[in-house]
């Protein structure tokens, strides 16, 4: 008779018995010390908690982007989520590459700080128009790319209705107007 896993068990839980003993002892092998078992059980508990946190974060992304988290994350164009004052609260992989810095460097910054200084006022107006009038807005600007080269981009933003402080209020796509083909 094969052993069946209860429905409440996660994949991988079958590796540890209820009493935290190894599922099978090899002949001639030394039994693990109680201290080693305690360390392994503590580590397993930590991993289960971390796994739960990751699952919650993924569920949050799915809620935020209506079940399309992968579409946002791996879109072929730079995409940002902005809060109601224009700060970046999320950026996808292409956005991180376009700006040439890590997500942690981008998140929390105002979108207008990511364009060259001469275009910041225009991008600020773009965001004010989008947020105050609840209108879709498109603006041409320039960014300093990951390779140190100035790039012409089009910033297209659309507001999300009913957003409140700290929540996703605007979705912005940043299109490289003259994309590079091939290598340098």
In a structure prediction context, what are the per-residue pLDDT tens digits for the chain, which is 184 residues long? 444 444 444 444 444 444 455 555 556 666 668 888 888 889 999 999 988 888 888 777 767 766 566 777 888 899 999 988 899 999 999 999 888 888 899 999 999 999 999 999 999 999 998 888 778 999 999 998 767 788 899 999 998 866 666 576 889 999 988 765 554 4
pTM over 0.85: no
Taking the C-alpha atoms of residue 98 and residue 147, their distance in angstroms, rounded to an integer, is 9
Q: For the chain, give every domain's residue range.
A: 14-64, 69-176
CB neighbours (10 Å) of residue 75? Answer: 15
Strand order in the sheet with 88-91: 88-91, 78-82, 170-176, 150-159, 137-144
Tell me yes or no: is domain 69-176 CATH 3.40.50.300: no
Taking alpha carbons only, the member of 77, 74, 73 closest to residue 90 is 73
Q: Strands, E, within the chain: which ranges?
A: 78-82, 88-91, 137-144, 150-159, 170-176
155 forms beta bridges with 139, 174
Contact 181, 97 (CB under 8 A): no
């Amino acid at each position: 008779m094969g052993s069946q896993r209860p429905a409440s068990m996660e994949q991988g839980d079958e590796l540890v018995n209820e009493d935290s003993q190894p599922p099978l002892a090899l002949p001639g092998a030394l039994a693990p010390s109680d201290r080693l078992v305690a360390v392994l059980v503590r580590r397993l508990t930590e991993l289960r908690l971390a796994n739960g946190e990751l699952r919650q974060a993924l569920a949050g992304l799915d809620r935020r982007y209506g079940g399309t988290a992968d579409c946002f994350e791996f879109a072929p164009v730079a995409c940002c989520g902005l809060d109601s004052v224009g700060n970046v609260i999320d950026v996808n992989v292409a956005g991180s590459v376009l700006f040439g810095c890590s997500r942690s460097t981008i998140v929390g910054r105002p979108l207008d700080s990511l364009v060259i200084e001469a275009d910041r006022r225009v991008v600020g107006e773009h965001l004010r128009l989008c947020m105050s009038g609840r209108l879709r807005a498109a603006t041409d600007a320039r960014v300093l790319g990951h390779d140190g080269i100035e790039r012409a981009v089009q910033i297209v933003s659309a507001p999300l209705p009913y957003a409140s402080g700290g929540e996703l209020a605007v979705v912005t796509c940043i299109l490289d107007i003259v994309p590079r083909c091939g290598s340098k």
